[in-house]
Structure 1
Amino acid sequence: MGRVSKEQAQENRRRIVDTASRLFREQGTDGVSVADLMKAAGLTHGGFYKHFDSKEALVDEATAVAFDSFEEERAATPGADDGEEAANRAFVDAYLSPAHRDDMAGGCPTAGLAVDMARGAAGSAARYTYAEGVRAFARRMATDEEGDDGLARLSTMVGALILARAVRDDPLSDELLAAARAEVER
C-alpha cells in the first residue's frame, strides 16, 4: 500500500481523535480498545502507532478535544445570543435535559470522563487536561456574586447528570435533573 499524503495523515489523525473523544465519553477509556477505536474510525489497527505513541497520549488529546467541542456546543446553545443571564439559563436547561442525559458520546466530558480520571486509568497528562477543562467549565458557571467560583453550580449539575444517567430507566432520573435545575437556577 502506498504512502498517504500529509493532508490525509492529518485527516486520519483528526478522525481518530474525534472518534476516541466520543467513544471514551460513552464507554470509558478502559472500555475502548485500540482495535475497536480504529475500526470505528474506519482505519486499520496497525496505523494507530503512526499517529500516537500510546493510548494514554490519545486519551489526553481526546480529552482536550472533548472539552473544546463541549465549549463550542455551549456557545451555540439556542438563546446564547440573548444576553448572559438568558444564555446561562438556556445552557443549564440543555445540560440538565433528558436529551443530554441520553447523549453520553456527545455529552459533557466532565461527567463522561469523571470515573476514568478518578481511577487514574487515563494517565497523568489526561488528568491534568481534564482538570483544566473542569476549571474552565466552573469559571463559565460562576455568577457575578462575590466569592462565587462556579464550583457549586458545576458540582450540582455534573453530579445530577451522572446520577440521572445511572438510573436513566427510572422516573428518578428525570427527578434528579429537575431538582438540580431548580437548585442551580435559584
Structure 2
Amino acid sequence: MKKDPKEPLSKAERWERTHALIRLTASRLLRTRGLRLPSVADVMKGAELTVGGFYGHWESKEALFEEALRDALRGNWVQLLELARGDTAKERLQWILRRYLSRSHRDTPEAGCPLPSTLSDISVLGEPYRGAVSEELERLVAGLGQIAEPLGGKQLALGLFALMVGGLTLARATEGTPLSDSILAASRAFALLAMERAEQRAEQEEKP
C-alpha cells in the first residue's frame, strides 16, 4: 500500500531519510575533495544538518566515508556495465571506454568515478579504505571481465580498468590544458589497440 505523501513520517522513516542524505552528501564530497579534506562538519553543512546529529548515524568519519566510497564505486561502475551497448564484447567494451574516458566525465567529477580523487588518500590512510576499495574493485573487474570474456577475460579487464582510471586521473589533473584532451584520446586509442590484439589472439586460438 502506497504511503500518503501528506502523512507525517515516522521516526524510523526520518532516520532512514537523514541517513541516506548524509551518505549521499559524503559521496559527492569525496568525488571532488577526496577522503582526507572533507570533515564531518563539511558533510553535515552540505546536508543542511547540525554536526551534533552525525553520531546518531555513524561512529566516525571513517565509517561514513568507507560506506560512501563503496556506494560511489558501485553506482558509477554498475551503471556503466549495465548500460553498455553493442553486439560483441569489443563493441560493449568500446562503449564503456568512450564514456569513461570522455570530456564530460572528466569535467563532472561530482557525478563521476571517485577513484581519481581518492586513490592517493587511500594509499596514505590505509584501512578501512584500502580493504573497501580492494573488495569493490574485485567485483567491478569481475563484472568487466564477464563482458571481456571472449577476448581475454579478467586479465584484459584489469588492464583496461587500470588504463581507464589512470587516464582519467591524469586528464583531470591537467584539465584546462591541451594535454588533458590528448591524454583522453591517447588512452582510448591505446585501449582499442589492446582490444584488437586480444581479438586477434582469440581468433587464432579458435582456429583448428
| Correspondent of 2:186 among 171, 179, 182 | 179
Say if 1:43 and 1:147 are closer, same or farther in 2 by CA, change over 3 A: closer
Do residues 97 (structure 1) and 102 (structure 2) align? yes
| 1:131 pairs with one of 127, 131, 134 | 134
* Counterpart-to-counterpart distance in 2, 1:115 and 1:80: 32
- Report the CA distance between 1:147 and its aligned residue: 7.0
Unaligned runs of 5+ in 2: 1-9, 194-208
Deviates more, 1:151-160 or 1:45-54: 151-160
2:65 to 50, 59, 64: 59
Given the superposition, is the C-alpha separation of residues 11 and 81 from structure 1 closer, same or farther in structure 2, using an over 3 Å criterion? farther
Q: Normalized per residue, which structure has more helix? A: 2
- Which residue of the partner structure matches residue 45 of structure 2? 39
Aligned residue for 2:90?
Answer: 85
Residue 147 and residue 93 in structure 1: after superposition, are their counterparts in 2 closer, same or farther (change >3 A)? Answer: closer
TM-score normalised to structure 2 length: 0.79
Query: Does the 8 Å CA contact 1:137/1:154 hold for their aligned counterparts?
Result: no
* CA-CA distance at 1:76 after TM superposition: 5.2
For structure 1, the residue ranges without an aligned partner over 5 or more in a row are none
* TM-score where L is the length of structure 1: 0.88
Tell which structure's C-alpha radius of gyration is larger. 2
Corresponding position of 1:71: 77
What is the CA RMSD across the aligned residues, in angstroms? 2.1
> Does 1:170 pair with 2:170?
no
For these two proteins, the number of residue pairs brought into alignment is: 181
SS at match of 1:160: helix
Give the Cα separation in 2 of the matches to 1:89 and 1:83. Answer: 10
Determine which of 31, 54, 57 is the counterpart of 1:48: 54
Letter in 2 for 1:185: L
> Any idea what the Cα deviations from partners look like across 1:68-97, whole Å, max 9, x if unmatched?
2113421454x5365543322111100000
Partner Cα distance (2:90, 2:16) in 1:
39
Please state if 1:21 is matched with 2:24. Answer: no
SS in 1 for 2:128: helix
SS in 2 for 1:169: coil
Question: Partner residue of 2:204?
Answer: none
Equivalence for 1:152: 159
Q: CA deviation at 1:5?
A: 0.8
Match of 1:113 in 2: 118
Percent of aligned pairs with the same amino acid:
35
Question: Does structure 1 conserve the Cα–Cα contact (< 8 Å) formed by 2:66 and 2:128?
Answer: yes
Measure the CA separation in 1 of the matches of 2:32 and 2:114: 10
Which has the higher mean CA deviation after the structures are superposed, 171-180 or 39-48?
A: 39-48
